Structure 1
């Protein structure tokens, strides 16, 4: 499974095999295990550089990419904890700008797995502990840490006094986990999602958010008030609009910034949140010039990424080949806005536990054809789940080869696992 990945390095592979044997015990929620695991490792989370902690349903990875690019443009060394990896597990741990080496990764995983063997930790708890251990041992100026799932019970939520916490867009995803029945939690679905994401709030740490439906806003306001965290919400405390440029303003003043080079109108919103997080904290200084450069230079693979010429993309002939790992309704709407008024061929593969209409329905008017492919090593939806017009193909290569010679762009979408397979097959492994 790509969750655990494979490695050409035998020492890394030995530890990945151990990771692959881990699972989250059914019904276990909480931070007790990760806290005990970190305590046995000397509590590295207490020795990190200033940290930016980002949650959200969609966009949190892009916000982290913009934060990293802006901070690095300002001359700072940045650690990044990203999720999930697309091809190599190393993508999850970036140390002062570079992916963790195989030698260091093998040692980190072995150390964490050995010390926590009797705790029965999960894949995510071991990964987080290894990440924080690396961050504490390698010198950097700042950390950017992406939440994995939810926020309240995510393994990363052991940070002490982050420089700033951010919440990107909210929507429905991972309902079985985030909407599970629990006494004392909101009954309204979007409010419950907000409740879980706002669980990353910390006393004294600024909480910076997008604007949301009223039920979600009220839940986030309550969480910030209870925690004693300064709240800075879009539409109330900061404002941003995107036209020919990104116009941003808050109590500190106004900025005119470039639009992102990352495709998709929603990326301006993600860039704006990153700007707001930097402007509502006091740990590091980033100039408007560095913010502008970071917005232009930020890179985030498999999010409306146009593939380069390569072994896989060239099978589609002389046409643009786009790749997106989005798999929920909000992602589908964002992709649809990008292709608004344009025709495209859709190659879709989705895990069986995701709603098949999330991507197909928003794109139905734009899609000239729909081809369904399996997601390797995972249970995935058959072609009929995507509608009567969908045609089954054995893999992405066969789907691209079957396209008519019409020059119309093609979009490969529906799963980050599938996106990782595509990038590897096209020799575009993230670095």
Structure 2
């Protein structure tokens, strides 16, 4: 599929609508859809929703991107990863129906996912936006059950706009007439755009700090809305930002009519790799010896802020970063909040990724941010350098989901 349809970004829905029509409009027969947009927290939000819904005995389809180790991670059918045979079947069917006309890799694979979802019984469909929202290939469902907009920050400016208001406008494109929308923490300018679109479409909003509140208190998560207060365990996904993500999930589940047990299961049973994930087994962990090995795929300034906040809450150990990023990202903005928490950074290039920053360019950006930094040939060689200098360190591999995927493959 990559060779037939190169991985390019061309935001329009025309090609998607044409292919969906050729396939008999599978997007019209999906199980009730929860559509999730935002800059940060989409994947974690989806993972928590899935955990909650499945704990309540509901079956869920889930679509996410990008994948880490295998393409199959993008498509879950009624809770299970799509099989090789069925993935091949729906991709072949989409390829035949497309008839050789130009279409992007993300568009045709998204349509394949929708086709599989429409043909497999389930109670809910969780759709995560790939990029933006308004013109994203997932934005083809006329009447979802619910939409969610997680925090919006600067990312993909070359496609979505240079201001938070412009980017929020693209994310708000998933809001549909009369459909409730849960809104996570936003800047004032971003929220103004989201509220304006919702008002035009008569979409009821559930907005953080207006209609629902969430905070951490004495090692617990406290959530409050007009129907009452919940005192729950902290999310099992690590980081202060996950408290806010969990709040949005609870607001969504309560809007859909689910009980408190479902809300608790959502935030305590979710699994989401490469989001401040502590690696505990595998060849890279063995190479690290007594050092802690962590993995995170965040790649924009807001993710840098979130990681920095998380590091302040972890036990006090010297933290060494192994960082690889794409050349399309704001590496300076990402590294700035991390500089004060990092003993040394090792820059690496991302294997088999044409848009990777070189190790040397990553090091140059780190030096500019005030970090001590050194290039490394590979993640493994960087681990060896770190453990030789400081055997009891904390090692954080970070900067890109593409790097995280290669690491998970290498670590088995």
Report the TM-score, using the length of structure 1 for normalisation. Answer: 0.89
Alpha carbons 2:320, 2:342 under 8 Å: kept: yes
Separation of aligned partners in 2, 1:396 and 1:260: 29
Separation of aligned partners in 2, 1:245 and 1:144: 27
Alpha carbons 1:81, 1:131 under 8 Å: kept: yes
SS in 2 for 1:422: helix
Q: Kindly indicate whether residue 374 of structure 2 is the aligned counterpart of residue 391 of structure 1.
A: yes
> Which residue does 1:239 correspond to in 2?
213
SS in 2 for 1:325: coil
The runs of 5 or more residues in structure 1 that have no matched partner are 1-17, 181-188
> Which residue does 2:331 correspond to in 1?
356
> Which residue does 1:401 correspond to in 2?
384
Cα deviation code 1:79-129 (max 9, x no counterpart): 100111001000000011110000000111111112113431111111111
Q: 1:219 to 1:117 in 2, by over 3 A?
A: same
Cα deviation code 1:195-232 (max 9, x no counterpart): 01000001111011013222111101111011221111
SS in 1 for 2:147: strand
Separation of aligned partners in 1, 2:14 and 2:335: 40
Cα deviation code 1:335-394 (max 9, x no counterpart): 001112652011101111212223322121221111011111223132323217311111
Out of 253-262 and 149-158, give the one that drifted further: 253-262
Alpha carbons 1:342, 1:366 under 8 Å: kept: no
1:116-265 correspondence to structure 2 within 5 Å: 116-179=98-161, 189-243=163-217, 244-265=219-240
Separation of aligned partners in 2, 1:406 and 1:397: 15
Question: Which residue among 322, 332, 337 is the counterpart of 2:304?
Answer: 332
Q: Kindly indicate whether residue 357 of structure 2 is the aligned counterpart of residue 380 of structure 1.
A: yes
C-alpha displacement of 1:25: 7.3
Alpha carbons 2:165, 2:189 under 8 Å: kept: yes
C-alpha displacement of 1:286: 2.4
Alpha carbons 1:73, 1:291 under 8 Å: kept: no
Separation of aligned partners in 2, 1:201 and 1:304: 30
Aligned residue pairs: how many?
Answer: 398
Out of 313-322 and 247-256, give the one that drifted further: 247-256
Separation of aligned partners in 1, 2:320 and 2:303: 17
Separation of aligned partners in 2, 1:80 and 1:212: 25
Report the TM-score, using the length of structure 2 for normalisation. Answer: 0.93
> Which residue does 2:404 correspond to in 1?
419
Separation of aligned partners in 2, 1:227 and 1:352: 38
The runs of 5 or more residues in structure 2 that have no matched partner are none
Separation of aligned partners in 2, 1:102 and 1:147: 24
Alpha carbons 1:51, 1:144 under 8 Å: kept: yes
Q: 1:83 to 1:58 in 2, by over 3 A?
A: same
